[in-house]
Amino acid sequence: MSPISGNFLQTLVEKVLPCAFSRPAESSDPALAPAICNPSLQERGWSRYALPAVFIAIFIVAAVYVSSTLDLYPYSGRFPRNKAEFLKPGRLDRKLSTLEKKIKNNPDDIRAFFESGLLKFQKGPERYIDAISDLETARAGGVSDIRTFYYLGQMYQAVGLYDFALDEYRRFLNNRPDDLEVSLLVAKLLFHLGKYPLAVKEYEGLSERNPKNMIVLENLALSRWKNGQDPKATLDIMGGLDAEAAFRAGYVSGRIDYENKDYTAAASKLERVAAEFVKYPDFSDRAGLYQMLSDCYVKLKSEARAIDALNELLKINPANDEARSLLARLVKIRSKTAAK
């Protein structure tokens, strides 16, 4: 516990608050008042001004206590997970420079290796290998901190070492079994690796705990379909939740039709998704949507619509050379047809 916290907070609550709330009492026995109270101050109306000050003091001390406790106990899980929470580049570089000097002066400083690994993670993918090395060095030296599992999982996944990533995420979940983000990462990795029965099991467990989470339901439907199960019941549940969940159910249904090579049905459903996704900024697979739509149109020999879909795809991903090449070919074919 923070050295300023326990006794000081107790003193504030037991001795200062009674003074702040009390009224001047001419007939009261000063000996009965708390030792910290000063009757002469009460007589001058001190308590009227003390009350706000005492509350502010308690708030500040409590905030310092909470902050210091979180810093002292890393298992509190106070750590950034996305760029919006990362340190500013200048401050990040200064901290890393200081840690590099500490490690150079003392190569056995495993805490410095640990902190260096955390900060290198924030530098981005170009520093992931170095960050992994630092965190593994710290762990081998005896550092035990739940953040190690999360960050190593993220970085092993980013560099393509998926089995290592799964191991780290599961270690994290051994400590935090209800962490939705990491549970989803495990399930998505299993799906990506083609381990569909295991992915279904993970998503079913998540669905039991989060029965109205449309992201969980969306992925459960896809996993069941990939596992040879009928996803209709899950899609029906999504359709009954709200407008956005119904929109996502339509997208999943269109994607399933596309992968089943039912291009007419897929195009119809995906066209509705394309017309509505502007209302749902969290929908992230816009490039995939137009990729599937353009391919449907090519298969259905609708060059004009395929050209429109490819143009939309290139707005989202200008570096897609395959789409650019197909677009050029379709435009050339259409020009020749028009010339005839």
Q: What is the CATH number of domain 80-164?
A: 1.25.40.10
31-40, 183-192, 318-327 — which is least confidently predicted?
Answer: 31-40
> Fold match between 80-164 and 178-238?
yes
Q: Is the pLDDT of residue 45 over 60?
A: no
Q: Is the pLDDT of residue 46 over 90?
A: no
Q: Is the pLDDT of residue 35 over 70?
A: no
Whether the Cβ atoms of residue 135 and residue 152 lie closer than 8 Å to each other: yes
The arithmetic mean of pLDDT across residues 9-15, rounded, is 47
Confidence band of 335 (pLDDT split at 50, 70, 90) = confident
- Determine the pLDDT at residue 24: 45
Whether the Cβ atoms of residue 276 and residue 247 lie closer than 8 Å to each other: yes
Chain position carrying tokens 């997970």? 81
**Residue 155 half-sphere exposure, CB side, CA atoms within 13 Å?**
26
Write phi, then psi, for 259 (nearest 5 degrees). -70, -20
315, burial (CB in 10 Å: exposed 0-12, middle 13-18, buried 19+): exposed
Q: What are 156-215's pLDDT values in tens digits?
A: 999 999 999 999 999 999 999 999 999 999 999 999 999 999 999 999 999 999 999 999
The arithmetic mean of pLDDT across residues 110-118, rounded, is 92
d(CA 330, CA 311): 11
* Greater model confidence, 52 or 124: 124
Confidence band of 62 (pLDDT split at 50, 70, 90) = low
The domain at 178-238 falls in which architecture? Alpha Horseshoe (1.25)
Whether the Cβ atoms of residue 21 and residue 47 lie closer than 8 Å to each other: yes
Neighbours of 86 (CB within 10 A): 16
- Determine the pLDDT at residue 243: 95
- Determine the pLDDT at residue 89: 81
Please provide the average confidence, as pLDDT, over all residues in the chain: 82
* In the chain, where the domains are located: 6-72, 80-164, 178-238
